[in-house]
Amino acid sequence: DTEVTQTPKHLVMGMTNKKSLKCEQHMGHRAMYWYKQKAKKPPELMFVYSYEKLSINESVPSRFSPECPNSSLLNLHLHALQPEDSALYLCASSHPPVSDTQYFGPGTRLTVL
């Protein structure tokens, strides 16, 4: 099973709201990733967690706050977002050191009003 799940599928929020995106995998993977994807563009890496520790932050604005409570779960907390943050947010996981292959979830479509 190579399934990564993400909730919710769709999210609409105002610029003053606080919301969270959730990602889960039960493959025993110890690396998890957040990507942002705008329409007609490839995904852009935001954060990488390796063994529950933040290892890469691609200079993402502080209004995005990642959290990795355990090896199966990854959250992305959102606060005071801008309309330009509207995008598809993808989660992925991989299994270091065995493999560098990343498996992606279905994404959360975020709209910021």
Distance of alpha carbon 89 from alpha carbon 75, whole angstroms: 11
Site string for another protein, 25-44 (x = CB under 8 A): ------x--------xxxx-
Our finding on whether 55 is near another protein (CB under 8 A) is: yes
Query: Token pair for residue 33?
Result: 């990733």
Query: At closest approach, how far in Å is the CB of 53 from another protein?
Result: 11
Selected range binding another protein among 45-53, 59-67, 68-76, 78-86, rule: CB under 8 A: 45-53
